[in-house]
Every structure is written in structure tokens, then in C-alpha cells.
Amino acid sequence: MVFISRHGETPRTFEILKDLAADQPLSPTQFSLSVHNAVIGLWSIMRNETSEMTALAATGDGLEHGVLEAAALLNEGAPAVLLVITEEQPPQVYAPWVDDVPFPYAMGLLLTRGDDWQLALSTPPVQPSGSDWPHALDLLRTLLNNETTCQHAWKNRVWTWQRNR
């Protein structure tokens, strides 16, 4: 499993920070659930899952980094990799800094070996305009509309998804 979240448990973390600022005692349970790998840890306990799992705190192109991690696991012999990308809408106080989560969402993809899709990375001299949607939701729209190409720009990187079949 590869779990990706750019911002993690921001509502929970914000509550912890408010308690800290108010000199209130901190909850060990709340803290343990605020860390990035808490979700996959709980999932593995609930399902008695012992396979390799990775939690990524990635930038705006976390989806693509997660796919690269999944491809590495597949290359090492994993028969399939569950890739989950999720974001909670941060508290309003974070709005000046976090503008890439229009609403809470989660997407899961079960990835297996194959060549139906190709993912390429380029660094063009001029940054193309990107979608206003998070990469995961933009890819989901591409899949649902049966489109053949999807392009995501992040900083100086451009990721191109190409359907081969």
C-alpha cells in the first residue's frame, strides 16, 4: 500500500496546536492519530495486514510520486499495490497557505503491472498552465471520461499521463 497526503490530518493537528497554545494537556491518542502514517498503521492492524506500506507527505504532485513508489514495489515483485491519496479540507485559518484542497476527498487505485498507461516527466522551459483541480481528481476525471491524455504541472515539473490502450 502507498498512502499519500500532502497536508495530512490538518484539522486534528490544528486542535492539538490550539490546546498547546491554551496550555491544555495534550492527548497522546490525538497526537498518535495526527502523524502521517497513522492511517495505514490503523488500516494494517484492522485488516491484520503485514505487507509493505509507505506513507508519503508529498508536494502538489504527490499522486505521481506515489505512482513511482508503487511502480518500485511492483518491480520488486508485489502482485498489486493499493495507492490511496486523500486530503481533508484544512481549517479556515490555513486558507492563506493552503489553497489546493477544494473539498475533502480520497481516491484509491489498485495498480498492477502492465503497459496500459505511461507516465512521463519533463521540465519544459515555459511552465504550461495546469488544472485548478488536485492531480488525483484531475486523473479521476480523465479516467471517467475515457480520455487518453492528462497533464499535470507542478513548479518546474510537468507530468504527462498517456493511455496506450
Q: Are 14 and 95 in contact (CB under 8 A)?
A: no
Tens of pLDDT, residue by residue over 54-102, are 999 988 899 999 999 999 999 999 999 999 999 988 888 988 888 788 8
**pLDDT computed for residue 129 by the predictor:** 67
pTM for the whole thing? 0.86
The pLDDT assigned to 165 comes to 80
> How many domains are contained in the chain?
1
Q: What confidence score (pLDDT) does residue 11 get?
A: 86
Please write the tens of the pLDDT for every residue from 100-127.
888 899 999 999 999 999 999 998 877 6
Residue 142 is predicted with a pLDDT of 94
| pLDDT > 90? residue 133 | no
User: In terms of DSSP bridges, do strands 81-87 and 105-111 run parallel, antiparallel, or are they unpaired?
Assistant: antiparallel
Q: Give the pLDDT confidence score for residue 128 in this predicted structure.
A: 66
User: Could you say which DSSP state residue 76 is in?
Assistant: T
For residue 60, give its domain range. 2-163
CA atoms within 13 A on the CB side of 115: 1
Concatenating the DSSP letter of every residue in the chain gives: -EEE-SS-SHHHHHHHHHHHHTTPPPPHHHHHHHSTTHHHHHHHHHHT--S--EEE---TTHHHHHHHHHHHHHHTT-S-EEEEEEEPPPPGGGTTT--S-SS-EEEEEEE-S-SSEEEEEE--SSPPP--SS-HHHHHHHHHHTT-SEEEEEETTEEEEEEE--
